């Protein structure tokens, strides 16, 4: 296992150069928990915590490291957790408006493609698909629509026509992850160690699809409720998995209410300004640090 398997590239190595001079090591965040983050380095997977300086420099919670972020890590001298000192510039960032709050919530960083998963059951919702498409396009990643559980409907063409009417040109694939049907057609999105995010509402089969793409059962699965076809939250936190055949998957908990942070009117009128907000807050944090140093005469 190497960090290159997790998407490390020459571009990211160049961004890390200044941190290497400070004795830090590169890592990628693979899961987020209340008390710590789990990260993978070039040699091991370990626990890490965010430094106090990085917390103080963060303008908002979404500036802090999240799943998919590449970070600069200070290794612990004892048995304690390592310390994340910096977040490397994000190439993409999947950011939604936090539920019930007027703030951005980072769902995943540095994803190349996002699978928007839906299913032809009682929870099928074209408006939600449109909102998810907007969310993914605003992130800078490429959206791919997945109609899962295709074996549950006797008229697949009618469902795909409805999805195509709102897809705005995004690719659409019809599969049944539980029946192992059609999944091979989406393997190509993992080429060159790309990272694929998976989003959708509970019950559409995201965890089953994740298990199928990984070739092993890593995510718990449950049947949907029979009276309304709604799923239970089997995925409780975001997590990045390395695929044995190459590439990475970031599975996310089910989302019913979803609104793009930019689409909610928080990205500004300037598209470049909005993209900068989503993709990297590194420059903003650096400028705030310089202003603070100037004020105290450093």
pLDDT in tens, 84-111: 999 999 999 999 988 778 889 999 999 9
pLDDT at position 102: 82
Residue 210 confidence (pLDDT): 95
pLDDT at position 132 = 94
Instruction: Please write the tens of the pLDDT for every residue from 269-286.
Output: 434 434 444 444 434 444
The three-point CA angle 101-103-104 to 5° equals: 125
CA dist., res. 176 & res. 20, Å (int): 45
Question: What is the per-residue pLDDT for 121?
Answer: 84
Q: At what angle do helices 271-279 and 126-139 cross, to 10 degrees?
A: 90
Superfamily of domain 93-251: P-loop containing nucleotide triphosphate hydrolases (3.40.50.300)
Is residue 186 within 8 A of residue 97, CB to CB? The reply is no
**Which residues does the chain have with pLDDT short of 50?**
225-233, 235, 268-298
Q: Report domain extents, the chain.
A: 3-89, 93-251
Q: Which two tokens stand for residue 56?
A: 């103080």
Alpha helices in the chain (DSSP H): 10-20, 52-57, 126-139, 156-164, 206-214, 271-279, 282-295
At 34 the pLDDT is 85
Homologous superfamily of 3-89 in CATH?
A: Nucleic acid-binding proteins (2.40.50.140)
pLDDT computed for residue 298 by the predictor: 37
In this prediction, residue 165 carries a pLDDT of 96
Compute how many other C-beta atoms are within 10 angstroms of the C-beta atom of residue 66.
24
Q: Give per-residue burial for 229-258: e unless 16+ CB within 10 Å, then b.
A: bbbeebbeebbbbbbeeebbbbbbbbbeeb
Q: Which long-range contacts (CB under 8 A, 24 or more apart) does 286-292 make?
A: 288/57, 288/59, 289/57
Question: Tens of pLDDT along 112-129?
Answer: 999 999 999 877 899 999
pLDDT at residue number 16: 97
- The Cβ-side half-sphere exposure at 169, using a 13 Å CA radius, reads 2
Question: H/E element holding 195?
Answer: strand 195-199
Give the pLDDT of residue 177.
Answer: 95
Identify the pLDDT of residue 222: 53
Residue count (the chain)? 298
CA dihedral (203, 259, 39, 82) in degrees, to 10, reads -130
């Amino acid at each position: 296992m190497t960090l290159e398997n997790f998407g490390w590239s020459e571009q990211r190595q160049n961004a890390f150069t200044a941190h290497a001079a400070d004795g830090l090591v590169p890592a990628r965040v693979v899961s987020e928990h209340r008390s710590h983050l789990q990260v993978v380095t070039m040699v091991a997977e370990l626990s890490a915590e965010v430094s106090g300086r990085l917390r103080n420099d963060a303008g908002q919670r979404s500036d802090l490291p999240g799943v998919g972020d590449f970070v600069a890590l200070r290794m612990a001298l004892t048995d304690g957790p390592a310390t994340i000192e910096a977040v490397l510039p994000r190439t993409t960032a999947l950011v939604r408006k936090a539920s019930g709050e007027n703030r951005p919530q980072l769902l995943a960083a540095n994803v190349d493609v996002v699978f928007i998963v839906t299913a032809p059951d009682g929870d099928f919702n074209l408006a939600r698909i449109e909102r998810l498409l907007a969310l993914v396009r605003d992130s800078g990643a490429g959206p791919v629509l997945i109609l899962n559980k295709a074996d549950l409907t006797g008229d697949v063409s009618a469902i795909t026509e409805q999805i195509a009417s709102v897809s705005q040109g995004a690719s659409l694939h019809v599969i049944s992850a539980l029946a192992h049907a059609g999944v091979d057609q989406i393997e190509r999105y993992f080429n060159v160690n790309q990272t694929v995010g998976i989003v959708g509402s509970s019950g559409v089969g995201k965890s089953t699809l994740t298990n199928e793409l990984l070739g092993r059962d890593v995510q718990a699965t449950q049947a949907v409720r029979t009276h309304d076809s709604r799923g239970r939250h089997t995925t409780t936190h975001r997590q990045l998995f390395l695929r044995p055949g190459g590439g990475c998957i970031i599975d996310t908990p089910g989302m019913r209410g979803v609104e793009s942070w930019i689409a909610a009117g928080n990205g500004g009128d300037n598209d470049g300004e909005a993209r900068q907000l989503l993709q990297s807050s590194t420059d903003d944090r650096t400028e705030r640090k310089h202003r603070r140093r100037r004020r105290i005469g450093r």
